Structure 1
Amino acid sequence: MDTQLLLLLLLAMVLMASVAQRFPENSCAQYFQYVQSGIGSFQGELTLGLQNGRNRIDVRFSQLGAHDQSVVGALLPYPDEVTVRASLRAAKFRVSLWADASAVLPKLTRLVYNNNELCRASEYNPQSFFNRFFELHINGPQSPHRVAPTPVIHKFPEGQTDVQIKTVVFDGSERSISHILSDFVNEQTATSAADWAPKSPAITSISSSAVPRQRWPTSSVPTISSIAPAPWKPATPASPFIPNGIRASPPSSVPWPSFVCGQEGTGVPYIQRGMEFPRGRYPWLTAVYHKESFSLAFKCGGSLVSTSLVITAAHCVYKIREDRVLVALGRYDLDNYSEDGAEMRDARRIVMHPEYSSRLQLQPDADIALITLDSPVIFNDIISPICLWETAETETEAEIGSIAGWGTDENGNSMTRYPRVVDAKIATVGECARRWKVQKILDRTLCAGNLDGSGPCLGDSGGGLMIKRNNRWLLRGVVSLGERSTVDHCNNNQYVLYCDLAKHMTWIRQYIS
């Protein structure tokens, strides 16, 4: 009898927890419903018919007075991508939702499929919105039962900035991603009364007007006045070089996936006086670990440039076997090894530049290593590639670059918990040589810094010197060498030396396809 009473009480508590959640109006009942995924845990579920080719789903949620990026999770196939590909007539997608203080769940206010609006609802006041999207490419017979909505397309007003969220899964992988991106929370929110519409589809060759505007990270670092670089105006905007992994023999002809590199996601051990940035802002940022006596030791940063290739500094993996190197992707909080959405990959192959020298005075000239991951990753909100530099021998004087990483901070912490970003001015060859008190800087070296104590430090080695062109980030250099001021401290009143990737593109391209 006591057992039955206990079960009844437990059932009553579960029912009360469910009833306590207040469901908002649902203007998309044909496609969308709220489902309970646990006690007090809810998700929004979409059911759509998919078609052969491109399938892009955009959703927009609103929450009462909420500006917290965690109230709406990532939009993901349910229960996984393999199931969705096998269920084109009624493919399901889910997004985790968290209620506000009054137990009200976020409301779906817009649903768009392939630029066709399926439904719309009013926003809460004061208006706040959370935009998410998922893109899937399917090869095969077209489903005759796909949704055929009436096109109603609303474009962004000029000047409106939306959240920087990107989830793209391209054809060619049957790997389940349910365990990869389960309900991770990394999105930004925005407040605006302006209308919303999905971004233009990700394509291999894209004009600057079709790329969403990006938010530049704010920083306590003083603003640097600089001469604008020479305008970069190709007759037709060039498609950035997007490699697909190291190859030992000529690759077979494989169609390029449809995605855009260099887009922000939704900010001496190296960043001093930098600013922490939101998770996913630089989704190509990777952490390189060494396996040491049953533990992992963070060593360097790196940059993802394809589904299976990371560029880092050669000195980060010098004399280290492949089976002792591990790469973390999608990481943000280095204290959290079970971080949602993060991926860990062993190194399958490491190729160091043949002209790399461990002598400090020569190190930056060819300080490059290419790490091939043991299995490819699927691009999403927090894992996607940066563009490789396109034009060799490009003039870079007076340009501003950005460096992100987890390295030593200005307080002497050997590793920061969250990555930080700092901007740095790229110096002329002559100015760099004078500051380093040498006759000449190596030809394949870049010099950058603010000379104000801000810049990369120990641990940021291997990270990228990123330059923004036409609203995309390009990888120009690799953090190589800085001057020490005291023991285990970096002198960021001196320029940092970078290996200039623009001078090594011929070598890099012979290993990637």
Structure 2
Amino acid sequence: MTILWLTLLGLCLNLKLGSALHVPQHNCERYFSYYKEDSGAYIGVFTAPRAGVNSLSWEVVFTAHGTGEANTVGSLIPYPNKERAFEKIHSGERGEVFVRFTDFGNELPKLVRAEFNGEVLCQNEEYDAPSSTMTRRQSMSTSTPISQKSAPREIVRQRRPPPSTPSNDPNPFLPSIMPRIDSDFEECGVEGFSPLQIGGDLVTRGQYPWLAALYEGVGTATYKCVVSVISKRTVITAAHCIYGKSASQLWVYLGRHDRNENPENGASLVSVTSVLTPSAYEGNPVPDADVGLLVLTSPMVYTKYIRPLCLWGSNMGLPPNEGDTGAVAGWGYDRSAQKTRFPKTVSVRLVPRDQCLKEMKRAEDFITRRTVCAGNSESHGPCFGDSGSALIVLRNNRWYVRGVVSLSPRHGEICDLSKYVIYCDVARHIDWVRQNMVM
């Protein structure tokens, strides 16, 4: 009876936002509510499911009708402000974060997923195309011990104090050691500057800041594959690049650009502590499980040359007929079968599985429901040395990893790029990736 009352109360509060405004229904009333501020602005507030937690990591997803709606949902930030949010955490209360909604017309963006510390709190159906998907993340942590009070009752307040405007002025009444807010994942998938030339395929320094190189060796290390940063401790690559390897043999060159420069300014060579591949892989050449993770021995420092790539959301859905345009970058062989000094990128188009099977009948054993094919009309694409490169797709002005380079048809000493390259579909393995990555 109590839970039912809370649910109904949450709905009543949502409906009080305004008769002319459409407020989407959702099944997350225990943890999320829409609110109207005194100023007339609208916000959405998330409340942690438990008290006494000193490390809070949120990932929330909204959807809106139409394209180009990414700006309707603001960043996920502490509620009502940083100082008050940490006061609540220190006192053992449940932490809260919120987003602001702007320029949304007569319909608020709909919450379709809320995840807290890796736990999915609720999920809702996305809108059919055309629609926009907005993912927002926020991490808050403190090493200060928490003196937990008795767990607060699950109540829904009828009014919220307005979030305060952030200020950079130091407050002499706050503790000298402030807790840390880690908003790095707000910046995942953000591309740097690209060259101003049509058809150019050279990658400028920092254009794809998640791009990194895998090296192998003890005394002398040699280049092996491409890896991509997905968190401060984890990079993603192809399983065949790392399967059966000892972590002590592997090195990741973060921020790598010029392979002839050693050491390279702004880059960092780091060691590996864990090598992870799916149990379904087991050295099998079939690329449908050809994905792997490397956990680094220490967290990296994000810079303009080192930033994470966004992970495909389990709720983002996969186009039934594909057709997405993506990109791939790496240090693979050029048309003359020569190793490249600087990374290159190419635009590719993802094609439906049936089309890939029709045009590459000899590869039917390698094309499964957990692979994706992509090609380029000019016969450009990844080749030897590009294994593990991320197939990235642009959504809402951020790059997401859809797959990793696995197999390519061969033509003598180089690749036959008149055909499609076969990628392991990371979107089909996203649960495994999230469960095994280290933040």
TM-score (norm: length of structure 1)? 0.49
Distance 1:491 1:263 in 2: 31
Match of 2:369 in 1: 443
> After superposition, what is the alpha-carbon deviation per residue over 1:468-496, rounded to whole angstroms, capped at 9, x for unaligned?
1111111111111101111x311101100
Instruction: State the AA in 1 paired with 2:187.
Output: V
Confirm or deny: 8 A CA contact 1:284 1:304 kept in the other structure: yes
Separation of aligned partners in 1, 2:249 and 2:387: 18
Question: Which consecutive unaligned segments of at least 5 residues does structure 1 have?
Answer: 1-170, 172-202, 210-228, 245-252, 268-272
Tell me what 1:458 maps to: 384
Q: Residue type matched to 1:380 in 2?
A: T
Structure 2 residue corresponding to 1:404, chosen from 312, 326, 329: 329
**Residue in 2 that maps onto 1:507:** 432
Normalising to structure 2: TM-score of the pair? 0.57
Matched, 1:472 2:369: no
> What pairs with 1:172-251 in structure 2 (closer than 5 Å)?
230-234=129-133, 237-239=134-136
1:217-253 CA distance string (max 9 Å, x none): xxxxxxxxxxxx943424xx222699x9xxxxxxxx9
Which residue identity does 2:342 align to in structure 1?
Answer: Y
Q: Give distance in 2, aligned partners of 1:506 and 1:309.
A: 15
Shift, 1:338, TM fit: 1.8
Deviation at 1:374, TM superposition (A): 1.1
- Correspondence for 1:382: 305
Q: Secondary structure at the match of 1:335?
A: coil
The correspondence for 1:366, drawn from 289, 299, 302, is 289
Who is 1:260 aligned against? Answer: 187
Aligned to 2:343: 419
Matching residue's letter, 1:472: R
8 Å CA contact retained: 1:284, 1:383: yes
Q: Secondary structure at the match of 1:280?
A: coil
Over 3 Å counting, the alpha-carbon distance change for 1:353 and 1:491 in structure 2 is same
Match of 1:428 among 345, 352, 355: 352
> How has the CA–CA distance of structure 1 residues 408 and 447 changed in structure 2, closer, same or farther, with 3 Å as cutoff?
same
Quote how far apart the aligned CAs of 1:451 are. 4.7
Q: 1:254 to 1:356 in 2, by over 3 A?
A: farther
- What letter matches 1:324 in structure 2? Q
Partner SS, residue 295 of structure 1: coil
Q: Which amino acid aligns with 2:369?
A: D
Asked whether the equivalents of residues 241 and 387 of structure 1 are also in contact (C-alpha less than 8 Å), the reply is no
The residue type equivalent to 2:292 in the other structure is A
Distance of aligned partners of 1:204 and 1:478 in 2 relative to their CA distance in 1, 3 Å threshold:
farther
Identify if the C-alpha distance between structure 1 residues 274 and 482 changes in structure 2 by more than 3 Å, giving closer, same or farther.
Answer: farther
1:208/1:471 contact within 8 Å kept: no
Q: In structure 2, what is the equivalent of residue 110 of structure 1?
A: none
Residue 255 of structure 1: how far off its partner (Å): 5.4
Distance apart, 1:265 and its partner CA: 2.5
Q: CA RMSD in A?
A: 2.9
Of 242, 245, 250, the match for 1:320: 245
- Aligned to 1:302, the other structure's residue is in SS state strand
> CA shift at 1:278, angstroms?
1.0
Aligned-partner SS, 2:359: helix
Distance 1:376 1:335, change over 3 A: same
- Name the aligned partner's letter for residue 365 of structure 1: D
The aligned amino acid for 1:233 is S
Contact 2:245 2:275 survives alignment (8 Å)? no
What does 1:72-221 correspond to in 2, within 5 Å?
none
Contact 1:357 1:366 in 2 (8 A): no
Deviations 1:417-440 (A, max 9, x none): 000000001011111001220557
Aligned to 1:111: none
SS in 1 for 2:355: helix
Q: For the residues of structure 2 that align with 1:279 and 1:507, how far apart are their CA atoms?
A: 31
Please give the per-residue CA displacement for 1:73-112, whole angstroms capped at 9, x wherever unaligned. xxxxxxxxxxxxxxxxxxxxxxxxxxxxxxxxxxxxxxxx
The change in CA–CA distance for 1:208 and 1:266 in structure 2 (over 3 A counts) is farther
**Do residues 484 (structure 1) and 410 (structure 2) align?**
yes
Are the counterparts in 2 of residues 289 and 300 from structure 1 also a CA contact under 8 Å?
yes
User: What is the CA distance between 1:208 and its match in structure 2?
Assistant: 11
Cα distance between partner residues in 2 of 1:283 and 1:306: 12
CA contact (8 A) 2:290 2:406 kept: yes
Matched residues in 1 for 2:202 and 2:100: separation? 30
Question: 1:25-40 to 2 correspondence within 5 Å?
Answer: none
* Whole-Å separation in 1 of the counterparts to 2:98 and 2:263: 33
Per-residue displacement from partner, 1:187-239 (whole Å, max 9, x unpaired)? Answer: xxxxxxxxxxxxxxxx9979899xxxxxxxxxxxxxxxxxxx943424xx222
Asked if structure 2 preserves the Cα contact closer than 8 Å seen for 1:331 and 1:342, the reply is yes
Structure 1 letter corresponding to 2:396: N
Residues 472/352 of structure 1: CA separation in 2 closer, same or farther (3 Å cut): same
Instruction: Report the Cα distance in structure 2 between the residues aligned to 1:507 and 1:419, rounded to whole angstroms.
Output: 29
Tell me how far apart the structure 1 counterparts of residues 208 and 352 of structure 2 sit (CA, whole Å): 27
3-state secondary structure, aligned to 2:358: helix
For residues 206 and 468 of structure 1, what CA distance do their matches in structure 2 show? 24
Q: Deviations over 1:381-402 (max 9, x none)?
A: 1000010011354116111110
Is the CA contact (8 Å cut-off) linking 1:266 and 1:381 kept in structure 2? Answer: no
Match of 1:275? 201
Distance change (3 Å), C-alpha of 1:344 and 1:439: closer
The question of whether the paired residues in 2 share the 8 Å contact of 1:241 and 1:389 is answered with no
Give the aligned partner of residue 391 of structure 1.
314
2:233 maps to: 308
Does 279-288 or 440-449 show the bigger shift? 440-449
Contact 2:138 2:182 in 1 (8 A): no
Task: Tell me the percent identity.
Answer: 37
1:474–1:208 CA distance, 2 compared to 1 (3 A): farther
For this pair of structures, how many residues does the alignment match? 272
SS at match of 1:452: coil
Asked if 2 retains the 8 angstrom alpha-carbon contact of 1:311 and 1:370, the reply is: yes
CA distance in 2: counterparts of 1:469 and 1:207, whole angstroms: 19
Shift of 1:358: 3.1
